[in-house]
Amino acid sequence: MGVEGDFLVFDSGELINFDKTDKTALSVADSWLVENGRVRSLDEHFQRFENWVISIEDFPHNLMQNFFDAVTEKLPTEGEWFPRIEFRQHSKLGDRLFLRIRRSPERTPSLSLWSYPEPDPRETPQIKGPDLALCQQIRRKANLHGADEAVLLDEEGFIADGALSSILWWRGDVLCAPDDSTQWLDSITRKELFNLATQAGYQTISERCRPDDLNGLEIWSASSLQGVRGVDQWGDLEVGSFQKLSSFRKRLALLGKQIR
């Protein structure tokens, strides 16, 4: 395996090394963190990926399951990695399923946010893949504004998503996240955090909020790569201190399971 990992195509039941880039459009993608062979909610990632694919076309379940089995066998059991599985509907290669095994980017316990100044530009906000490059560009714009992540708002200024993460916040002992009035990407980490909060005796709700509605609150950004991070800056917003972050980071880490 190279320094940057491998790029493989699923063909005739096997994942085969592929040294070129498939330039067809990315239809579906999913990724997760691997830490020394441990992954959080891997089956949920596989199920979400399959659900997204079959929302596009009638794809054989058995073939998809064979792909997932092959992916699991290829995942490294030492070190920190951030693999990505892909479905490229218009590719002519193999079964149009791919695996990228990539080194994990840097992870941090906190981050700063920047509100994207235009309405959420994603065309397919509830499937990861078609808008992935756009979201990466939006995050780079946030970086140019001195922030780590961009927040996407709807036409009325209500919070939908982070460019590459989910946004959550605490109102006292209630964990909150955007409701279905905005289009947010189905987040496995958001579900994990809601479940952990419920197990710990906290209430969870979804609500419709603008950034200013979160003044003084503890705010989180969640993703499969980073887990959960505390927001330490968001423009002129007064952000609250991290009261619950440490305990939930520990709880989230305990969800990791050995892949084999």
pLDDT of residue 3: 38
Residues in the chain with pLDDT values less than 70: 1-5
Q: Which fold has domain 7-100?
A: D-amino Acid Aminotransferase; Chain A, domain 1 (3.30.470)
* CATH superfamily membership of 110-258: D-amino Acid Aminotransferase, subunit A, domain 2 (3.20.10.10)
Domain residue ranges of the chain, discontinuous segments joined by +: 7-100, 110-258
For the segment 130-153, what is each residue's pLDDT rounded down to a tens digit?
999 999 999 999 999 999 999 999
pLDDT of residue 1: 41
Residues 6+ apart with CB under 8 A from 137: none
Residues 6+ apart with CB under 8 A from 197: 175, 203, 204, 248
Entry pTM: 0.95
Residue 64 belongs to what H/E stretch? helix 61-74
Indicate the residue type of 166.
Answer: S
122 by DSSP, 3-state: which?
Answer: coil
State the pairing for strand pair 84-87/38-40: unpaired
Q: How far apart are CA 60 and CA 10, in angstroms?
A: 14
pLDDT of residue 22: 84
